[in-house]
Amino acid sequence: MPAIATLLPLYDIEKEHVLISEKEYRKRKTRLGRKLKPFSVAVLFSAVQKTRSNDTEYPYRQNSNFYYMSGFKEDSAVLIFVKEAKNFKTYLFVAKKDKTQELWHGKRLGVDKAKELFDVDDIFEFDAFNEKFKKNVVGKHHIYYDFGLDYAKVKLLKRSTKNVLSYENIASYIETMRLIKSKSEIKLIKKAISITKKAHHKAMKRAKKSEYEYQLQADIEYVFRKNGAYSDAYTSIVACGNAANTLHYINNNKKLVQGELILIDAGCEYEYYASDITRTIPVNGGYTKAQTEVYEMVLHVQKEIIAMIKPNVFRSALQKKSEELLCQGMVSLGILNGDVKTLIKEKAHKKYYPHGIGHWMGLDVHDECPYKKLNGNEIPLKPGMVMTIEPGIYLDEEDENIPNKYRGIGIRIEDDILVTKEGCENLSSCIAKEIKEITRKSSSNL
276 binding Mn ion? (CB under 5 A): yes
Distance CA 307, CA 301 (A): 10
Active site residue 300: no
Distance CA 261, CA 290 (A): 11
Size of the site for ligand GLY (CB under 6 A): 7
Active site residue 416: no
146 binding ligand GLY? (CB under 6 A): no
Active site residue 276: yes
Q: Decide which of Mn ion, ligand GLY, none touches 234; Cβ closer than 5 to 8 Å per partner kind.
A: ligand GLY
Distance CA 66, CA 47 (A): 8
Catalytic residue among 185, 359, 396, 415: 359
Residues 79/44, Cβ–Cβ less than 8 Å: yes
Name which position in 388, 392, 409, 431 contacts Mn ion (CB under 5 A).
388
Around Cβ 19, how many Cβ atoms within 10 Å?
23
Distance CA 347, CA 437 (A): 34
Reduced to 3 states (helix: H, G, I; strand: E, B; else coil), residue 167 is: strand
Binding to ligand GLY in span 288-327, by CB under 6 A: none
Active site residue 394: yes
Residues 353/390, Cβ–Cβ less than 8 Å: no
249 binding ligand GLY? (CB under 6 A): no
Name which position in 146, 213, 265, 364 contacts ligand GLY (CB under 6 A).
265
According to DSSP, residue 443 is labeled H
Residues 262/211, Cβ–Cβ less than 8 Å: no
Distance CA 36, CA 90 (A): 12
Distance CA 360, CA 406 (A): 31
Name which position in 221, 276, 293, 323 contacts ligand GLY (CB under 6 A).
276
Catalytic residue among 68, 249, 394, 406: 394
Q: How many residues does the chain have?
A: 446
Least separation in angstroms between CB 365 and ligand GLY? 6
Binding to Mn ion in span 401-430, by CB under 5 A: 414
Name which position in 25, 133, 234, 249 contacts ligand GLY (CB under 6 A).
234
Between 247 and 430, CB nearer to ligand GLY: 247
Distance CA 170, CA 29 (A): 13
Active site residue 232: no
Between 237 and 335, CB nearer to Mn ion: 237
Binding string, residues 320-359; x marks residues near ligand GLY by CB under 6 A: ---------------------------------------x
Least separation in angstroms between CB 371 and ligand GLY? 14
Least separation in angstroms between CB 414 and ligand GLY? 6
185 binding ligand GLY? (CB under 6 A): no
Reduced to 3 states (helix: H, G, I; strand: E, B; else coil), residue 49 is: coil
Active site residue 173: no
- Residue with nearest beta carbon to ligand GLY: 265
Between 179 and 387, CB nearer to ligand GLY: 387
* Residue 289 CB burial class (10 angstroms; 0-12, 13-18, ≥19): exposed
* Residue 376 CB burial class (10 angstroms; 0-12, 13-18, ≥19): exposed
Between 93 and 249, CB nearer to ligand GLY: 249
Between 71 and 392, CB nearer to ligand GLY: 392
Phi/psi for 169 (5° steps) reads -75, 125
Element spanning 44, H or E: strand 40-45
Q: Give the contacts of 12 (CB within 8 A, at least 6 positions apart).
A: 18, 19
Cα distance from N-terminal residue to C-terminal residue, the chain: 48
Between 323 and 414, CB nearer to ligand GLY: 414
Between 114 and 365, CB nearer to ligand GLY: 365
Least separation in angstroms between CB 149 and ligand GLY? 21
Active site residue 17: no
Q: Report the phi/psi class of residue 435: left, alpha or beta, with left for phi > 0 and alpha for psi in -120 to 50.
A: alpha
Pairing, β 78-83 against β 142-145: unpaired
Active site residue 219: no
Catalytic residues: 55, 248, 265, 276, 355, 359, 366, 390, 394, 412, 414
The residues that touch ligand GLY, with contacts defined as CB under 6 A, are: 234, 265, 276, 359, 365, 390, 414
- Where do contacts with Mn ion occur on this chain (CB under 5 A)? 265, 276, 278, 388, 414
